[in-house]
Amino acid sequence: MARSVKDMYVYEINIDSLFLINFVMNLYLYSLISRTLGRTATRTRIWGISIGGTAVFCLMLLLPGIPVFIKRFIGPVLINMIMTAVIFKVRQIGEVVRCTGYLFVYAFFLGGLMKFLFANVTFLHNKTESIWYILGAGWFGYAILSWWNEQIRKRKACHVYPVTLSGYGKTVTLKALSDTGNSLREPISGKPVSVIEEGALGELALIKMPEKLKIIPYHSVGKENGILEGYEVPELMIEREEGTIRWQKVIVGISTNKISANGAYQMILHPDLCSEAPDKAKGHRLIRRLGGE
pLDDT in tens, 227-248: 899 999 999 999 887 778 889 9
Residue 7, pLDDT score: 52
State the pTM of this model. 0.56
pLDDT digits (tens, 9 = 90+) for 92-101: 898 899 899 9
The lowest-confidence range among 35-44, 152-161, 206-215 is: 152-161
Give pLDDT, residue 224: 63
* Secondary structure class of 158 (helix, strand, coil): coil
pLDDT band (50, 70, 90) for residue 2: very low
Of residues 64 and 2, more confidently modeled = 64
What integer pLDDT is reported at residue 12 of this predicted model?
A: 64
Chain segment 179-231, per-residue pLDDT in tens: 777 889 999 988 999 999 999 999 899 899 988 899 998 876 555 678 899 99
- Percent of the chain exceeding pLDDT 90 equals 48
Ramachandran quadrant class, 276 (left: phi over 0; alpha: psi -120 to 50; beta: rest): alpha
pLDDT computed for residue 222 by the predictor: 52
HEC profile of 224-247: EEEEEEEEEEEEEEEEECCEEEEE
Which pLDDT value is given to residue 245?
Answer: 87
Confidence of residue 283 (pLDDT cuts 50, 70, 90): very low
For residue 178, what pLDDT is reported? Answer: 85
List, by residue range, all CATH 2.40.70 domains of the chain. Answer: 160-290
For residue 11, the model assigns a pLDDT of: 53
Residue 24: band (very low, low, confident or very high) from pLDDT cuts 50, 70, 90? very high
**Cα–Cα distance, 41 to 48 (Å, whole number):** 11
CATH class of 160-290: mainly beta
Task: Mark residue 248 as left, alpha or beta (left: phi above 0; alpha: psi -120 to 50; beta: remaining).
Answer: beta
Which of 8-12, 130-134, 153-157, 238-242: highest mean pLDDT?
130-134
b/e sequence 108-137, b meaning 16+ C-beta within 10 Å: eebeebbeebbeeeeebeeeeeeeebbbeb
Of 1-10, 199-208, 276-285, where does mean pLDDT reach its minimum? 276-285
Mean of pLDDT over the chain: 84
